[in-house]
Amino acid sequence: MITTELSNVGEIIQNQREFFQTGKTKDVTFRIEQLKTLKQAIIEHEQAIVEALQADLHKPQVETYITEISVIKEIDYAIKHLQNWSKPKKASVSWDFFSYSARIYPEPLGVVLIIGPWNYPFQLIISPLIGAIAAGNCAILKPSEIASHTSDIVAKIIAKHFDPAYIAVVEGGVEASQKLLAEKFDHIFFTGGTAVGKIIMAAAAKHLTPVTLELGGKSPCIVDTDINFEHTVRRITWGKFINAGQTCIAPDYLLVNKNIKKDLIDGLAKSLKEFYGDNPVNSPDYARIISEKHFDRLVNFLKDGEVIIGGENQPSERYIAPTVIDNVSLEDPVMQEEIFGPILPIIEYTDIAEAIALINSRPKPLALYLFSQDKNLQKRVLQETSSGGVCINDTVMQVGVPSLPFGGVGDSGIGNYHGKASFDTFSHKKSVLKNSFWLDLKWRYAPYQGKLPIIKKLLG
Ligand code: NAD
């Protein structure tokens, strides 16, 4: 058995604690070596990863490279910056602390747990692991059981290249998660749905374990009239229908200026044809729905509003055509729940204030998209809405910029990662203040008599 037996969970954590105590992971050279090993391991297993994603999601090879194997770019970024990130940073002190120096030391947290989802099942378990390694932690990974082939390949790669006393994989579903969550960790990094996020946080609270919760939600996409039309429709089509819409930051629904709505619908139909041909079921470039349960959930949404593009589906293939729906009510399930599939409702607005009011009446989304060249409109939307992140005149691409922290706000999550933010997430910032012995002013020591005027002066 490659993966760790559930009954061994306690033992694995104990072994990791002992390994962590040796201090080996505190050595930055060790961490860089491990990151290099991880990169080589991914390259070595590229084909197996492509096949696993094909089996789980019918994911086209190109999409697997762009969205899963591309995680090696993040490894390179961490290797490049790690020496600098891990150095203690000087902090300033005020003039009355003139005999002191202050520094912030990043230190690893210890043994961390990373729980992944099924939609980008490789990238979303490996990307946080990069942060955990870079920051000097030991880690236990729990990939999603729903993308079972990817879970297996992750377990295989990790077992082959890492000592389980340093990094281990525990495979399984809710039972495995719960077994892990009963244990004490030094950090839990969870990617998944908001409902399960609450379960994770409640379990973590029992041990006072800090959490990062990368959750989902309904990410709106506003389309104004001041746009490059062709670029807009292509970018929306790509961001919505890549991985058959099963992307946490996919545009969930469109908020379209009334004056451009008809053209936009025609444009979407045209670009869908360009991307996937007349019948997307035959396209090698279009993924499938992960499971029967999710297929049924999505097919139910097709009852809402009026299907104006697509709508065809085949249960045996778990295929749902790229679909656009019009005339939805805000009370319809498709506008109440995160869609997480290839269905795109269109809502029109006359004044941007209506679009902003709608966004603000709902839980804060993970992403917000705005297509407009109007600088004032950009400024207004940025100022008047809150979301995990914003991408202007494109979709989904914000996830690929390591200098931008990635995470939600409110219902879409707690904390963030990518690049330096990943290192910070898995580090404790230890504040260290150092005094010297060359002077010892007595203003703070008892007896206090006569010292109040000096103290008041210092406070002033
Ligand atoms: P999920 O919440 O159902 O499952 C995620 C993980 O939690 C899995 O490993 C699963 O085994 C485990 N789990 C499920 N039920 C559990 C329970 N009761 N107790 C303990 N663990 C449990 O999420 P999913 O269906 O795999 O992924 C879809 C969701 O994830 C969507 O809402 C999507 O928006 C979100 N997501 C967010 C991001 C992000 O970066 N913010 C990325 C991808 C997906």
Domain spans, the chain: 6-215+413-432, 220-407
Q: Could you tell me if residue 415 is left (phi over 0), alpha (psi between -120 and 50 degrees) or otherwise beta? A: left
Output the pLDDT for position 231. Answer: 98
CB of 267 closer than 6 angstroms to any ligand 1 atom: no
Which residue has the CA at smallest separation from atom 14 of ligand 1?
174
CB of 118 closer than 6 angstroms to any ligand 1 atom: yes
Task: Output the CA 129–ligand 1 centroid distance in Å.
Answer: 17
Strands 101-108 and 427-434: antiparallel
Radius of gyration of the chain (CA): 25
Residue 330 and residue 354 in contact, taking contact as beta carbons nearer than 8 Å:
no
Pocket test for ligand 1, best of 144, 294, 366 (most atoms within 8 A of CB): 144
Query: ω before 315 within 30° of 0 (cis)?
Result: no
- pLDDT tens for the chain, 460 residues: list them: 445 567 789 999 999 999 999 999 999 999 999 999 999 999 999 999 999 999 999 999 999 999 999 999 999 999 999 999 999 999 999 988 999 999 999 999 999 999 999 999 999 999 999 999 999 999 999 999 999 999 999 999 999 999 999 999 999 999 999 999 999 999 999 999 999 999 999 999 999 999 999 999 999 999 999 999 999 999 999 999 999 999 999 999 999 999 999 999 999 999 999 999 999 999 999 999 999 999 999 999 999 999 999 999 999 999 999 999 999 999 999 999 999 999 999 999 999 999 999 999 999 999 999 999 999 999 999 999 999 999 999 999 999 999 999 999 999 999 999 999 999 999 999 999 999 999 998 989 999 999 999 889 888 7
CB of 119 closer than 6 angstroms to any ligand 1 atom: yes
Pocket test for ligand 1, best of 171, 196, 200, 337 (most atoms within 8 A of CB): 196
Pocket test for ligand 1, best of 191, 398, 412 (most atoms within 8 A of CB): 191
**Which of 224, 237, 226 is closest to 395 using CA atoms?**
237
The residues annotated with a catalytic role in the active site are 214, 248
Which residue has the CA at smallest separation from atom 26 of ligand 1?
117
Q: What does the angle CA 443 – CA 447 – CA 449 come to, to the nearest 5 degrees?
A: 80
Task: Output the CA 59–ligand 1 centroid distance in Å.
Answer: 19
Task: Output the CA 62–ligand 1 centroid distance in Å.
Answer: 24
Which residue has the CA at smallest separation from atom 39 of ligand 1?
214
CB of 363 closer than 6 angstroms to any ligand 1 atom: no
Pocket test for ligand 1, best of 123, 177, 185 (most atoms within 8 A of CB): 177
Q: Which two tokens stand for residue 394?
A: 């494109």
CB of 215 closer than 6 angstroms to any ligand 1 atom: yes
Output the pLDDT for position 4. Answer: 57
> Which residues 6+ apart lie within 8 Å of 251 measured at CB?
219, 220, 221, 236, 239, 240, 344, 367, 369, 395
Position in ligand 1 atom list of the atom nearest CA 118 = 26
CB of 248 closer than 6 angstroms to any ligand 1 atom: yes
In the CATH scheme, what is the code of domain 220-407? Answer: 3.40.309.10
CB of 23 closer than 6 angstroms to any ligand 1 atom: no
Amino acid letter at 414?
Answer: I
CB of 414 closer than 6 angstroms to any ligand 1 atom: no
Position in ligand 1 atom list of the atom nearest CA 173 = 11
Position in ligand 1 atom list of the atom nearest CA 248 = 34
CB of 404 closer than 6 angstroms to any ligand 1 atom: no
| Rounded Cα distance, 152 and 249, in Å | 26
| Rounded Cα distance, 241 and 340, in Å | 10
Q: Judge if pTM exceeds 0.85.
A: yes
Position in ligand 1 atom list of the atom nearest CA 406 = 40
CATH of 6-215+413-432, one of 3.40.605.10, 1.10.260.40, 3.40.640.10, 2.60.120.10: 3.40.605.10
Task: Output the CA 196–ligand 1 centroid distance in Å.
Answer: 6
Task: Output the CA 69–ligand 1 centroid distance in Å.
Answer: 20
State the first-to-last Cα distance of the chain, in angstroms, to the nearest integer: 67
Which residue has the CA at smallest separation from atom 8 of ligand 1?
144
- Cα 340 to chain centroid distance, Å, stands at 15
CB of 324 closer than 6 angstroms to any ligand 1 atom: no
Output the pLDDT for position 239. Answer: 98
Which residue has the CA at smallest separation from atom 22 of ligand 1?
174
* 348-367 exposure pattern, b = at least 16 Cβ within 10 A, e = fewer: bbeebeebbebbeeeebbbb
